[in-house]
Homo-oligomer: A and B are copies of this chain.
Amino acid sequence: MSEFIKYHPAPDELGYTLGGRGPVASVRPGDVLQVYTEDCFGGLVQSSKDLPSQVCELPFVNPVTGPFHVEGARPGDTLALHFVSLVPARSYGVSATFPHFGALTGSHQTATLHPALEERVWVYDIDIDRGVVRYRATASDHTVELPLDPMHGTVGVAPGGFEARSSITCDAHGGNLDTPEIRAGVTLYFGVNVDGALFALGDGHARQGEGEVCGVAVETAMNTTMIVDLIPGVYTAWPRIETDTHIASIGVTRPLEDAYRIAHVDMTEWIGRLTGLEQLDAYQLLSQAGTSPAGNVVDPNYTMLAKVAKQWLPGRAEAYDGIHDRLRAAAAAMTF
Name A's B-contacting residues (CB within 8 A). 16-17, 19-21, 58-59, 95, 97, 103-106, 109-114, 117-118, 120, 122, 133, 135, 137-140, 142-144, 146, 160-166, 168, 207-218, 251, 253-258, 260-262, 264-266, 268, 275-281, 283-294, 297, 302, 304, 306, 312-315
Contact = CB atoms under 8 A, between A and B. Distances in A.
A287 B209 contact: yes
Nearest to A288: B209
Contacts of A160: 59
Contacts of A144: 285, 312-314
A172 B163 CA distance: 16
B214 A283 contact: yes
Nearest to A267: B213
A161 B166 CA distance: 7
- Give the interface centre of A143, A168, A210 by most chain B CB atoms within 10 Å: A210
A307 B144 CA distance: 17
Contact of A211 (B114, B122, B292, B314): B292
A278 B139 contact: yes
Given A163-B164, A255-B254, A113 B122 contact: no
A271 to B, nearest CB: 10
B297 A109 contact: no
Contacts of A161: 16-17, 58-59, 166, 168
A284 B214 contact: yes
A105 B109 contact: no
